[in-house]
């Protein structure tokens, strides 16, 4: 005869054990369903490829990799999500072209599809996307010239008004948002330097951001002359 307290603890233990067992069974069933569905999906794609020529047979390559990555992650714990190289490149492009809000909207509505922002920041940093304010990236420009293959480029400079804000970058251990001259408390404008490759075979090649820094839009004639000489 068990005491009431021990009986209660035993019942709780058995309920927890049954719940864990049911969860494992559900995960196994989900994994089996994912494998079966993805196998059927690949067969469907192959049937569409049957009459395609060599130029279009790889049109669905990324789609397959993207969906396969989702199914693979759905059967795992969120802390164990993994992403293929193609999915990471897609996530980087989505974040750069769409912005933070678009990226978060897609990530929250497609569980397991793209990595979290913290993971994305790490991958962007490894890819050389970490830009320090006021630093001209000549090494990146040289590598870009070699990889794209161009000898002539157009250099441009422009500024746009921004919301005055000072922020801290833990990766570089620096504050951003102050003008270069430090005559004002916060930056009023963002000044950017761009390099556009001139390639006859690819007139729509993407430009490269050479440098960016905050300014207050106050300058004298000698400042303009010095910039021309530079």
- Using one digit for the tens of pLDDT, what is the confidence trace for 73-127? 877 788 888 898 889 889 988 887 888 899 999 999 988 889 988 888 877 776 6
Q: Report d(CA 111, CA 207) in Å as an integer.
A: 33
Cα(230)–Cα(219) distance, rounded to whole angstroms? 16
pLDDT digits (tens, 9 = 90+) for 10-50: 566 567 766 666 666 555 566 666 666 666 766 666 665 55
Is the pTM for the entire model greater than 0.75? Answer: no
**For position 105, what pLDDT does the model report?**
93
**Rounded Cα gap, residues 216 and 207, in angstroms:** 25
Distance CA 60, CA 68 (A): 12
Range in 96-105, 129-138, 170-179, 200-209 with the lowest mean pLDDT: 170-179
- Please state, in angstroms and as integers, the Cα–Cα distance from residue 104 to each residue in 42, 51, 152, following that order: 28, 38, 38
Q: How far apart are CA 115 and CA 78, in angstroms?
A: 10
The first and second tokens of residue 29, run together, are 């069933």
77-82: long-range contacts (C-beta < 8 A, 24 or more apart)?
81/112, 81/115
- How far is CA 91 from its chain centroid? 4
Per the document, the length of the chain is 230
Residue 57 pLDDT:
53
CA-based nearest residue to 84, from 107, 65, 110: 65
Bridge partners of 38, per DSSP, are none
Least confident of 46-60, 94-108, 131-145: 46-60
DSSP helix/strand/coil, 99: coil
DSSP conformational letter for 184: S
Q: Is 173 left (phi over 0), alpha (psi -120 to 50) or beta?
A: left
Burial class of residue 15 in the structure, from the number of CB atoms within 10 Å of its CB (0-12 exposed, 13-18 middle, 19+ buried): exposed
């Amino acid at each position: 005869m068990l005491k009431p307290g021990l009986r209660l603890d035993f019942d709780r233990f058995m309920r927890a054990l049954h719940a864990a067992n049911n969860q494992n069974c559900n995960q196994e069933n989900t994994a089996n369903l994912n494998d079966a569905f993805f196998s059927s999906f690949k067969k469907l794609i192959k049937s569409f490829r049957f009459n395609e020529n060599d130029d279009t047979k790889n049109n669905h390559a990324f789609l397959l990799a993207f969906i396969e990555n989702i199914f693979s992650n759905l059967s795992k714990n969120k802390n164990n999500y993994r992403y293929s190289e193609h999915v990471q490149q897609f996530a980087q492009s989505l974040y750069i072209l769409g912005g933070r809000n678009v990226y978060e909207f897609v990530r929250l509505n497609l569980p397991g599809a793209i990595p979290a922002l913290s993971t994305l920041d790490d991958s962007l940093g490894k890819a050389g996307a970490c830009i320090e304010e006021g630093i001209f990236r000549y090494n990146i420009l040289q590598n870009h010239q070699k990889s794209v293959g161009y000898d002539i480029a157009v250099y441009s400079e422009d500024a746009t008004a921004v919301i005055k804000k000072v922020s801290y970058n833990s990766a570089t251990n620096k504050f951003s948002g102050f003008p270069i001259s430090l005559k004002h408390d916060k930056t009023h404008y963002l000044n950017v330097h761009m390099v556009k490759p001139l390639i006859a075979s690819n007139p729509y090649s993407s430009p490269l951001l050479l440098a960016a820094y905050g300014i207050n839009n106050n300058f004298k004639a000698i400042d303009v002359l010095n910039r021309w000489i530079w």
